[in-house]
């Protein structure tokens, strides 16, 4: 009999595509699974074929919410975990209670690091960065099983903490149906993902001064949304920029399929961004949408293998506009052969094999 898995994350689970894919794969492969998240940022209705719950948080600030979640998660794991359990912690903000319970019960723990949490731009130079770094230093060298989302991340963790991580990229499932490449008027330039600092969104908004007959659609939500909406109003770009809000993964996939140009122009806001392979790159490739990308290692590596778009020269609005024009001039159809090749390699069907191998080893 396969062991029971308890997957946990500081997430409201609504838009988390990686957790959705991982849990679905485990469930489809016969594992008994339970998912635990929280209600920070909302508790929209979702359905899953396996049991899930959200820990209710009363904290008003993110800082105290982390402490509250970790304490409550510890109590939940203490109640639900037994000798036949595999614990699966997503990111370092859910790791400590999992680590303590795993140690207490002498059961396996798999740590899935979606990013380098201690090097995120939002916590640079803050006390919280010191706390996460301390936790990494104390726990990561003791981990037997770890997963992470890019080859550059795995190399960073190996060099920093001498921990071996299996790379499971956050690629989408293959699109096996014919994709209708419509001749949009105006053309659609798409950003999808969290509206956070260092994502290049503000620079792309300013680039719209140099781009005509194109609408820039921003799909997602986050702390910078209001600021960027005000920027659009100040620059009188309301007719060129549209905010779509937070979308469920399935609705987001439908929007992605309609785009002429995608975008992943993260700035180097610390090692977590520098070494990332953003979901949106792989989502656009699978939807056969060419995209402009930042000149960062993982995106440069994909661009060297496949002609799936353009690397921007820098984040000056004029140069972002120039990269968009280069794609529009070639046309979405002109990139299809290379996008198809890339999509065959960069898909969840390939990634989940590596995921299942980790859980198979843990189950032995």
CATH class, range 187-345: alpha beta
**Cα–Cα dist 157/138, whole Å:** 13
Non-local (6+) Cβ contacts of 175 within 8 A are: 257, 286, 287, 288, 343
Q: Give me the chain's average pLDDT, please.
A: 95
Query: Between 183 and 317, whose confidence is greater?
Result: 317
The predicted structure's pLDDT at residue 314 = 96
Peptide bond into 186 cis (omega under 30): yes
pLDDT tens, residue by residue, 31-49: 999 999 999 988 888 899 9
> In which band, very low, low, confident or very high, does the pLDDT at 17 lie, cut at 50, 70 and 90?
confident
The DSSP result for 47-68, as a single string, is --SS-EEEE----SSHHHHHHH
Nearest residue to 158 via CA among 170, 169, 146: 146
How large is the average pLDDT for residues 193-206?
96
Q: What are the Cα distances from residue 170, in Å, to 85, 181, 245, 292, 348?
A: 25, 25, 22, 19, 7
Let me know: does 236 contact 262? Beta carbons within 8 Å: no
Q: Are strands 32-38 and 4-9 parallel, antiparallel or unpaired?
A: parallel
Q: Give the CB-side neighbour count of residue 11, counting CA atoms within 13 A.
A: 21
Per-residue exposure over 29-58, b if at least 16 CB sit within 10 Å of its own CB, e if not: eebbbbbbbbbbbeeeebeeebebebbebe
Q: Is 171 helix (H, G, I), strand (E, B) or coil?
A: coil
Let me know: does 5 contact 88? Beta carbons within 8 Å: yes
**Cα–Cα dist 250/257, whole Å:** 11
How large is the average pLDDT for residues 314-335?
97
Is pLDDT of 254 > 70? yes
Is pLDDT of 2 > 80? no
> In which band, very low, low, confident or very high, does the pLDDT at 218 lie, cut at 50, 70 and 90?
very high
Domain boundaries along the sequence of the chain? 4-170+348-363, 187-345
pLDDT tens, residue by residue, 280-298: 999 999 999 999 999 999 9
Q: Are strands 291-293 and 309-311 parallel, antiparallel or unpaired?
A: parallel
Task: Classify domain 4-170+348-363 at the CATH topology level.
Answer: Rossmann fold (3.40.50)
The predicted structure's pLDDT at residue 235 = 98
The predicted structure's pLDDT at residue 1 = 59
How large is the average pLDDT for residues 151-156?
98
The predicted structure's pLDDT at residue 161 = 97
Is pLDDT of 29 > 70? yes
> In which band, very low, low, confident or very high, does the pLDDT at 182 lie, cut at 50, 70 and 90?
confident
**Cα–Cα dist 196/12, whole Å:** 17
How large is the average pLDDT for residues 206-223?
96
pLDDT tens, residue by residue, 100-118: 999 999 999 999 999 999 9
**Cα–Cα dist 233/227, whole Å:** 10
pLDDT tens, residue by residue, 123-136: 888 888 999 999 99
In the chain, % of residues over pLDDT 90: 87
Is pLDDT of 198 > 80? yes
DSSP tag of 33: E
The DSSP result for 197-216, as a single string, is TTSSHHHHHHHGGG--SEEE
Q: Is the dihedral of CA 233, 236, 241, 244 positive or negative?
A: positive
Do the two domains 4-170+348-363 and 187-345 of this chain adopt the same fold? yes
- Whose tokens are 């499971």? That residue is 168
């Amino acid at each position: 009999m396969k062991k029971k898995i308890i997957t946990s994350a500081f997430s409201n689970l609504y838009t988390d595509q990686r957790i959705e894919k991982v849990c679905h794969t485990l469930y489809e492969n016969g594992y008994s699974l339970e998912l635990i998240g929280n209600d920070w940022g909302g508790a929209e209705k979702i359905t899953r074929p396996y049991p899930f719950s959200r820990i209710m948080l009363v904290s008003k600030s993110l800082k105290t919410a982390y402490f509250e979640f970790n304490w409550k998660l510890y109590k939940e794991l203490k109640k639900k975990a037994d000798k036949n359990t595999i614990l699966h912690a997503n990111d370092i903000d859910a790791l400590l209670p999992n680590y303590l319970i795993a140690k207490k019960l002498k059961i396996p723990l798999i740590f899935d690091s979606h990013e380098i949490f201690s090097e995120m731009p939002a916590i640079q130079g803050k006390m919280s960065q010191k706390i996460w770094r301390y936790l990494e230093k104390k726990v990561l060298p003791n981990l037997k099983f770890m997963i992470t989302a890019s080859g550059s991340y795995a190399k960073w963790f190996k060099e920093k903490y001498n921990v071996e991580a299996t790379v499971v990229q956050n690629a989408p499932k293959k699109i096996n149906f014919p994709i209708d490449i419509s001749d949009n008027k105006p053309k659609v330039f798409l950003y999808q993902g969290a509206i956070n600092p260092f994502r290049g969104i503000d620079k792309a908004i300013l680039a719209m001064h140099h781009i005509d007959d194109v609408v820039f659609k921003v799909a997602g939500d986050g702390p910078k949304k209001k600021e960027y909406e005000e920027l659009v109003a100040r620059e009188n770009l309301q007719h060129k920029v549209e905010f779509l809000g937070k979308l469920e993964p399935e609705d987001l996939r439908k929007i992605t399929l309609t785009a002429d140009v995608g975008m992943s122009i993260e700035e180097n806001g610390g090692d977590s961004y520098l070494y990332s392979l953003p979901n949106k790159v792989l989502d656009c490739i699978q939807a056969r949408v060419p995209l402009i990308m930042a000149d960062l290692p993982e995106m440069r590596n994909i661009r060297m293998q496949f002609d799936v778009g353009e690397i921007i020269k820098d984040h000056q609005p004029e140069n972002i506009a120039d990269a968009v024009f280069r794609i529009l001039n070639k046309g979405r159809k002109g990139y299809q052969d290379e996008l198809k090749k890339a999509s065959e390699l960069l898909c969840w069907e390939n990634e989940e094999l590596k995921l299942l191998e980790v859980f198979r080893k843990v189950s032995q």
